[in-house]
Amino acid sequence: GDSVTQMEGPVTLSEEAFLTINCTYTATGYPSLFWYVQYPGEGLQLLLKATKADDKGSNKGFEATYRKETTSFHLEKGSVQVSDSAVYFCALNGNAGNMLTFGGGTRLMVKP
């Protein structure tokens, strides 16, 4: 079945540091890939998505590129802020189209 593996946290960075959170997946066919963010005490917000190979999703300074050859969708941001502190979930929506498979989540803590 489908699966998503993302790096375990917590990831602790200083403000303005470069961020990478690794995400790899296993799926048949051509899934859509997502990053969701969950701020403390809140629900999940869609951060960005990509629906086909080589697509780049971007939002709020975050980027991720759908790499089919390496089955990866790594999240990057050039300069993190304290307000980016949250849990980040990588997810895929497979061929069925109505079910998300989540990675375990990565907690990011950004210190001033």
Partner 1 sequence: DTEVTQTPKHLVMGMTNKKSLKCEQHMGHRAMYWYKQKAKKPPELMFVYSYEKLSINESVPSRFSPECPNSSLLNLHLHALQPEDSALYLCASSQAGNTIYFGEGSWLTVV
Total Cβ atoms within 10 A of residue 31: 27
65, with CB counted inside 10 A (0-12, 13-18, 19+), is middle
Binding pattern for the stretch 91-110 against partner 1, x by CB under 8 A and - elsewhere: --x---xxxx-xxxx-----
Query: Of 17 and 107, which CB lies nearer to partner 1 in the complex structure?
Result: 107
Query: Of 77 and 103, which CB lies nearer to partner 1 in the complex structure?
Result: 103
Among positions 31-60, residues that touch partner 1 (CB under 8 A) are 32, 34, 36, 42-46, 49
34, with CB counted inside 10 A (0-12, 13-18, 19+), is buried
Q: What is the token pair recorded at 67?
A: 């790499």
Query: Of 33 and 110, which CB lies nearer to partner 1 in the complex structure?
Result: 33
Name the site residues for partner 1 (rule: CB under 8 A).
32, 34, 36, 42-46, 49, 89, 93, 97-100, 102-105
